[in-house]
Structure 1
Amino acid sequence: MSTAYDYIVVGGGLTGSVVASRLIQHDASLKIVVIEAGGDTLDREDIMMQDMGNSLHLIGGDLDWKILSVPQKHADGRTLVLPQGKGLGGGTTINGGGWIRGDRMDYDAWAAEVGDHRWSYDGQLSFMKKSEKHTNATVNPDQHGYEGPVVIQTPSSSGRAYPLREKVLESWSQLGVKALPHLDGNAGSQLGVAEVNENRNQGRRQVAAAVYSLDGVIVMTESLVEKVILERQEDGSIVAAGVKLADESELRSQQVILAAGALRTPQILMLSGIGAPEELSNHSIQTLVESPEVGKNLADHTLLFTAWKLKNPDDGWAVGSKNALFTQPQYALGLPMDFVVTTDVPKEGLAVAIEVDEGVKPDASSHALLKQARPFSESFMVYAGAPDGSAVAIGVIDLHPTTRGAITLDPSNVRGTPLVDTNYLGTEVDRYVHREMLRKVIDFAASDKTTIGRDILEGEMVPPGVEPLSVGISDAALDGRARSTVGTSYHFHGTAAMGKVVDTDLKVKGVRGLRVVDASVIPVNLATHLQVPLYALAEQAAAIITQERDSDS
């Protein structure tokens, strides 16, 4: 194809949709093409409506790449499914809808890492606000947006008063975990109990490619990009001239924006000749730009679930019971849960784990993980765990993994799915955090310390041969549980890290006309559900590109 575009955006997921939409809104004369490997999702009603009992009902279907990890040596050698959205809107077509911003300290660590205030919490706040349309203008109004494309709802705003709400809140208080002011966990500090926020509009899923209009943008679906076309200039510099598709066709452009996600973007970079020379040479790919950190630094928040039997299901605590409350229409508008609870872990045990990993005793006054309380664990009770309403589920997420994995090319098919090693539970810190997360669940659900543990639940439901979580369970049993059940929370990031692979303007180092705008550029761990910082990232990227274009004209 000989048409020359102003911008080629590789990937029609969250960030690609936002960047393309904002650029065309700023200048309708631009020729922009979004190339998406999946299909057009915007007329799919099965995507748009919430499944009350199972937010993630689309995972594993035709909108999921269903990428497999390599066998995980710290997780009983299991090969894990790593869901990734396939189609316009990317992960926003299949995700759980949690709208959780994270803590100021992580964004500020990002800015410190790269030496650019724009990537701090305050530097990104205006873009977080620009993306959202919050439901309550009286709660921390300086922290929220009210005119953005993405509608945010809560159980309260949608009229969902779950029967266990007050008992759950009381039980966390009994464990010393206090409710955040206004139950708002999206105001820069998330330690405590917050009401869950969802990016849903009266129950309807907010797909990025729908709420950010692509009118005026050329959209190519079912089109897989193989690599970026790089050309060496007479002065020796490397320029991105366009892309080559898997069908051998080529598109030319002034600039290329990679938005293929943390698992696919590093693959495209490597196939284009950007990466570690030893990795590329192993696959007979010429190194055009030496960038040894491409594919490294893979981070993900791990997730595991437990199921708990209700003492008296006839009390109507859970979805599926005979409680007529759940037949009211508002209860079909979102997840059957009230709160997300974010906590630290005991520092004494954490210091021991750090010493194992780092080989020296850490200084508690200066070590980043010890010097202050920080979000390590997220817990949430889902009021659905069995079809007959006889059980509930409790999920826990490790929000601050120190493990790092990697993306490499598959030697049997470098253009196929890349090899993904998440390296879950690869550090003693991560193993310690998982033990403490499960002990917190035991305190909450299986001890006399809380109303929930005493009066509502009667024990964990487990398969034969599995020791249930209970007071006094050994560390070895907790480690075994983590190894056998740990999985992904779909929050992959870090594989084309800012400061290493891209600069703070999101430009790939060593190449003119090539940017990365997706989760792969996030250089540090963010204790968040990634769609919030990704909307902000894409909004800021569009502003940076627009400002650059305006200054050049």
Structure 2
Amino acid sequence: MFHIQSTLYLAISVLLYRCQAKIFTSPDQLTTTTYDFVIVGGGTAGSVLANRLSEVDNITVLVIEAGIDNKDILPVQVPFLGVTLPGTSVDWNFTTTPQTGLNNRVIPYTRGFVLGGSSSVNLLTFNRGSDDVWDRWADLTQDAGWSWDSVQQYYLKSSRLVPPADNHSTLRQVDPTVHGNGPVEVSVPGFPLPIDDIVVSASKQLGGRFAFNEDFNSGNFVGVGFMQSSVGGGERSSAATAYLEPVENRTNLDILINTRATKLVQSGKSGYTPIFQKLEIAQSNTSTPIEVCARKEIILAAGVIGTPQLLLLSGIGPPSAFKNSSIKPLVNSPDVGLNLVDHPLVPNYFSVSSNGTWDDVLRNGSILNATLGEWIGARQGLFVDSPGNTLAFMRLPPNSSALEGISDPAAGPQSSHTELIFVDGFAPFGTVPQPSTGNFITVLTNVVSPTSNGSVTLASDDPFDKPIIDPRILTSDFDIQAMVQAINDAQTFLASSSWQAEFKPVPFGDLATATTDEAKAAFARNNSVTVNHPGGTARMSPYGAPWGVVDSNLRLKMALGVRIVDASVFPVIPECHIQGPVYIIAERAADLIKAAYGLIPGQNTTSPDTCN
């Protein structure tokens, strides 16, 4: 999505791959095929579970990751270079179907194909969601365990605030009292950009819907403020670096990469309820699959795309999915693969009179290499951050026509409808290339409470075929109207005297001629991609409810032996960047699992369960 000169990219993206102890590259290297827990996916949630479950001394855990090791991949480590990772060897390289809401364009769909999953390839923004997000989840699942009061401990357990790379004073940029003591390192930007002070000044000048918010992670996700990112010491802090690497040498934890789970295998029944204790894995569609067995549970943490694909390949899903298929239906679960929701994104470009933007870093190989050298030598400079330092979460005006005749899709008054991210340069997301001259800023406008939803379905019975991904971006009236409001809000914000004093932003390209709401809607359809925040394809619901794929304890409904822990279980998409909520879900899931089996860290636990 974010294009950089190809010769320069080759210079910075060499994969210095090495395999560490206890990370196996082939199933043949495993010394056993029976474990207490088998975790499918070594991504954001899978890494948390591997760490927390292997805390119990004699509980054995196997993590199966389809992708590669995360170590020594420079663009994974360098925060700014996260934008270069889509389309590389650490990306699944998914694409969508032609999107009717985007004039039938096919867009890329980036997901992490590497240990740490999407926490290793995302753009690092760390949000925990408003209090309202979690309280709505508790209402939808009829489980108070998902309320903010209950999950706050897991937010505090998952991350901690650390100083920015340049150690500048963060007074009035963040509130240290609302942060925790967990392994994921979170910081405000460590390289101030020229527009940072202007964003803050404009916020305080305009007030109202643009009021300043000192710390979004205090629970109120409305206003303008500084971005917090999963960065520590100028480097990416991912699930792999925070949770997996510190424990990968535990004798009761095995990590197998370059290997896919291809099918859940029914191992028995309890009455009429199928039991799944076995998992088929393979490294290619021509290799002979082998089976691994979980004495206690198979935990699916394969992500919003991989989890429903694996369920469908295993005969778990709506009966219609298995017509004209060799797959035997085993569990009638109509919601599998449905309710795919994502945040649509439109890049808005503005030419500016200032020459202080970082545009030339992407144009000039000498400047780029010097900037990269500053990061390599001292973990300082532009590359210690993702491209945007400031952002805004906005609620629509109360009289917005987008809200007429519908229930407010946001979780509550502390949740937003749209987001603006301010970038100090031309951020070439989508199809528009960076101009060869000039200085620019970009405002990324996003709809964070979308009502459009789509699906993930099988393309074939071959587990190595990519599934059909149709998020149906911008297919609801609310979404397109909210996006137009976000574009208008961006222009209102940039028209303030704080911006006009020096930068004097002027709409660039097709945005310049989109002077009506109808034209802005057309602009959005021509230029939207997504923020890669998918969720909902195996959503939670109350125990006994006819909808949903898992119950509120994340156990697969109408089956035994399987739990799902990843963003696919979102009952509704949170109005924020989603890695933080996934960490919270995974931390709570670890405690739910430990409670279910009486597991106590530091104590030996008997394992009477057997593999059938």
- On whether the aligned pair clears a TM of 0.5, the verdict is yes
One-letter code aligned to 1:506: L
Q: Tell whether the 8 Å contact from 1:227 to 1:245 is kept in structure 2 after alignment.
A: yes
Question: Structure 1 residues 93, 416: closer, same or farther in 2, change over 3 A?
Answer: same
| 1:135 correspondence with 2:165 | no
**Residue 394 of structure 1, aligned match among 433, 436, 443:** 443
Question: Structure 1 residues 538, 190: closer, same or farther in 2, change over 3 A?
Answer: same
1:468 corresponds to: 512
Q: Tell whether the 8 Å contact from 2:313 to 2:461 is kept in structure 1 after alignment.
A: no
**Residue 15 of structure 1, aligned match among 23, 45, 65:** 45
Any idea what SS the aligned residue of 1:263 has?
A: helix
1:344 corresponds to: 395
Question: Structure 1 residues 458, 517: closer, same or farther in 2, change over 3 A?
Answer: closer
What is the CA RMSD across the aligned residues, in angstroms? 2.6
Question: CA separation in 2, counterparts of 1:514 and 1:536?
Answer: 20
Question: CA separation in 2, counterparts of 1:530 and 1:127?
Answer: 15
Question: Where do 1:66-105 residues align within 5 Å?
Answer: 66-105=93-132
Question: CA separation in 2, counterparts of 1:508 and 1:118?
Answer: 18
Instruction: Give the C-alpha shift of residue 454 in structure 1.
Output: 5.7
Question: Structure 1 residues 372, 23: closer, same or farther in 2, change over 3 A?
Answer: closer
1:116 corresponds to: 143
Instruction: Give the C-alpha shift of residue 259 in structure 1.
Output: 0.5
Question: Structure 1 residues 415, 121: closer, same or farther in 2, change over 3 A?
Answer: same
Instruction: Give the C-alpha shift of residue 540 in structure 1.
Output: 0.8
Instruction: Give the C-alpha shift of residue 380 in structure 1.
Output: 1.6
Instruction: Give the C-alpha shift of residue 56 in structure 1.
Output: 1.2
2:430 corresponds to: none
| 1:507 correspondence with 2:519 | no
Question: Structure 1 residues 197, 388: closer, same or farther in 2, change over 3 A?
Answer: farther
Question: Structure 1 residues 142, 168: closer, same or farther in 2, change over 3 A?
Answer: closer
Any idea what SS the aligned residue of 1:186 has?
A: helix
2:228 corresponds to: 197
| 1:173 correspondence with 2:204 | yes
Question: Structure 1 residues 228, 444: closer, same or farther in 2, change over 3 A?
Answer: same
Question: Structure 1 residues 188, 480: closer, same or farther in 2, change over 3 A?
Answer: same
Q: Tell whether the 8 Å contact from 1:402 to 1:429 is kept in structure 2 after alignment.
A: yes
Q: Tell whether the 8 Å contact from 2:533 to 2:578 is kept in structure 1 after alignment.
A: yes
Question: CA separation in 2, counterparts of 1:237 and 1:72?
Answer: 38
Q: Tell whether the 8 Å contact from 2:79 to 2:236 is kept in structure 1 after alignment.
A: yes
**Residue 519 of structure 2, aligned match among 477, 481, 486:** 477
Question: CA separation in 2, counterparts of 1:190 and 1:203?
Answer: 25
Question: CA separation in 2, counterparts of 1:15 and 1:434?
Answer: 31
One-letter code aligned to 1:248: P
Q: Tell whether the 8 Å contact from 1:354 to 1:428 is kept in structure 2 after alignment.
A: no
Instruction: Give the C-alpha shift of residue 234 in structure 1.
Output: 6.1
Question: Structure 1 residues 33, 299: closer, same or farther in 2, change over 3 A?
Answer: same
2:290 corresponds to: 249
One-letter code aligned to 1:170: S
Question: Structure 1 residues 373, 539: closer, same or farther in 2, change over 3 A?
Answer: closer
2:5 corresponds to: none
1:43 corresponds to: 72
Question: Structure 1 residues 469, 18: closer, same or farther in 2, change over 3 A?
Answer: farther
Question: CA separation in 2, counterparts of 1:103 and 1:223?
Answer: 37
Question: CA separation in 2, counterparts of 1:370 and 1:101?
Answer: 14
1:358 corresponds to: none
Q: Deviations over 1:57-114 (max 9, x none)?
A: 1121110011010110111101111001001111122111111222111221111000
Q: Tell whether the 8 Å contact from 1:337 to 1:380 is kept in structure 2 after alignment.
A: yes
TM-score in terms of structure 2 length? 0.81
Question: CA separation in 1, counterparts of 2:128 and 2:552?
Answer: 21
Question: Structure 1 residues 534, 374: closer, same or farther in 2, change over 3 A?
Answer: closer
Q: Tell whether the 8 Å contact from 1:193 to 1:339 is kept in structure 2 after alignment.
A: yes
| Length, aligned pairs only | 525
Question: Structure 1 residues 48, 367: closer, same or farther in 2, change over 3 A?
Answer: closer
Question: Structure 1 residues 126, 319: closer, same or farther in 2, change over 3 A?
Answer: farther
Question: Structure 1 residues 129, 371: closer, same or farther in 2, change over 3 A?
Answer: closer
2:468 corresponds to: 419
One-letter code aligned to 1:468: A
One-letter code aligned to 1:45: L
Question: CA separation in 2, counterparts of 1:168 and 1:235?
Answer: 62
Unpaired runs of at least 5, structure 1: 356-360
| 1:63 correspondence with 2:90 | yes
Q: Deviations over 1:93-145 (max 9, x none)?
A: 21111112221112211110001111122221111111112137996455210
Question: Structure 1 residues 380, 469: closer, same or farther in 2, change over 3 A?
Answer: farther
Instruction: Give the C-alpha shift of residue 429 in structure 1.
Output: 0.3
One-letter code aligned to 2:42: G
Question: CA separation in 1, counterparts of 2:501 and 2:452?
Answer: 36
Question: CA separation in 1, counterparts of 2:451 and 2:177?
Answer: 32
Instruction: Give the C-alpha shift of residue 207 in structure 1.
Output: 2.4
Any idea what SS the aligned residue of 2:202 has?
A: helix
Q: Identity over aligned residues, as a percent?
A: 29
Question: Structure 1 residues 458, 252: closer, same or farther in 2, change over 3 A?
Answer: closer
One-letter code aligned to 1:522: F
1:375 corresponds to: 416
Instruction: Give the C-alpha shift of residue 509 in structure 1.
Output: 0.5
| 1:295 correspondence with 2:337 | yes
Instruction: Give the C-alpha shift of residue 175 in structure 1.
Output: 3.5
Instruction: Give the C-alpha shift of residue 377 in structure 1.
Output: 1.0
Any idea what SS the aligned residue of 2:218 has?
A: coil
One-letter code aligned to 1:214: E
Instruction: Give the C-alpha shift of residue 222 in structure 1.
Output: 0.7
Question: CA separation in 2, counterparts of 1:388 and 1:191?
Answer: 36
TM-score in terms of structure 1 length? 0.89
Question: Structure 1 residues 240, 393: closer, same or farther in 2, change over 3 A?
Answer: same
Q: Tell whether the 8 Å contact from 1:258 to 1:514 is kept in structure 2 after alignment.
A: yes
Q: Deviations over 1:138-171 (max 9, x none)?
A: 96455210x311111112xx3x332232222222
1:528 corresponds to: 576
Question: Structure 1 residues 68, 367: closer, same or farther in 2, change over 3 A?
Answer: closer
1:215 corresponds to: 249
Q: Tell whether the 8 Å contact from 1:318 to 1:384 is kept in structure 2 after alignment.
A: yes
